[in-house]
Structure 1
């Protein structure tokens, strides 16, 4: 479904991503782990069209989307829940969800059905539907960010650090939701610093270090890799 071929991304003279090659097959959950500053978020932004690619190509369902604009990629089936959530703080929960379904605005019934689906996924959002999103807890805002991305009915969901700053019980809820999405057949590319949880839910995974892929394999293989254990799991 997704293929990156020798993708390079630069900020002026600084090369943040250095020739990354990776692929995500339909129905998979693929995880990218790595330290802060490794280039993980930059890579996700390039996939959804928010960061230009200096060299290389990005293909989605066989079509080259390297230069396709971000809003057009949403219509093609790519959606992202960004790092830091990026919700519209001065809008209500329902308004945030409605905006997430903007590309389907010509079918109000479908948008309303999608909102109802997200309320069932995260019942807390139904309780908070008329509340300004910026007044909710961090966990509730993360639920909203994921649901807003799902409102466009994506074929590929990009999740950037969904556990960031959340309490352990909320993190458990978020990863349970990711598992349910995987079981529904949705394709997911997950960037996450909580390596154990991320690898536990992943079919396959990549390790990104200073802009380069240094390891790849199944989630189980990387969970058991001594280098990954030492660097990301706090064990030797």
Structure 2
């Protein structure tokens, strides 16, 4: 579904992503782990089109989309739940969901069905439907960010640090939701610092260090890898 071929992204003269090649196959969960500043969020922004590639190629279902703008990538089936959640604080929960469905807004019945689907996925959102998103708890905002991304019915969901700043019980709920999305057949690319949980839910995984892929394998393989355990799991 997604192929990066020697992809590069830069901020001015600073290369944040240095020739990354990876693939995400239909129906699998792929996790990218790495320390702060490794280039993980920049890489996701490059995939969704919020940052331009400075080199290499990006293919969606075999079609070169390296220069396709972000709004057209949504139409091709790519959606991002961003780091820090990025909800619209002065809009209600319901209005945030409608904004996620902007690309299909002309089909009111479809949008209404999708809103109800997300309320069923996260009942708390239905309870808070008319509440301003900026007044939600961190966990509720994360639920909203994921649901907003799902409103466009993506084929590929990009999740950027969904556990960031959340309490352990809420993190467990978020990962249960990710596992349920995986079981429904959705293709997911997950960037996450909670390496234990991320690798446990992943079919395959990559380690990104200072803009470079340094290790790859199945989630189970990397969970057992001594270097990964020492660097990211706090064990030797």
Q: TM-score range by the shorter chain?
A: over 0.9
Q: How far off its partner does 1:36 sit?
A: 0.1
- TM (normalized to structure 1)? 1.00
Aligned pairs (5 A) from 1:190-209: 190-209=190-209
In structure 2, what is the equivalent of residue 156 of structure 1? 156
Number of aligned residues = 236
In structure 1, what is the equivalent of residue 78 of structure 2? 78
In structure 2, what is the equivalent of residue 106 of structure 1? 106
Runs of 4+ in 1 over 6 A off after TM superposition: none
In structure 2, what is the equivalent of residue 165 of structure 1? 165
In structure 1, what is the equivalent of residue 56 of structure 2? 56
Give CA-to-partner distance per residue, 1:165-203, whole Å, 9 cap, x none: 000010001000000000000000000000000000000
Q: How far off its partner does 1:136 sit?
A: 0.5
> Where in structure 2 are there 5+ consecutive unaligned residues?
none
**For residues 19 and 61 of structure 1, what CA distance do their matches in structure 2 show?**
20
Aligned pairs (5 A) from 1:154-233: 154-233=154-233
Give CA-to-partner distance per residue, 1:83-120, whole Å, 9 cap, x none: 00000000000000011001111100000000000000
SS at match of 1:44: helix
CA RMSD of aligned residues (A): 0.4
SS at match of 2:190: strand
- TM (normalized to structure 2)? 1.00
Q: How far off its partner does 1:22 sit?
A: 0.2
SS at match of 1:9: strand
SS at match of 1:222: helix
**For residues 61 and 101 of structure 1, what CA distance do their matches in structure 2 show?**
22
**For residues 12 and 127 of structure 1, what CA distance do their matches in structure 2 show?**
45
Q: How far off its partner does 1:34 sit?
A: 0.0
Aligned pairs (5 A) from 1:8-27: 8-27=8-27
> Where in structure 1 are there 5+ consecutive unaligned residues?
none
Q: How far off its partner does 1:12 sit?
A: 1.2
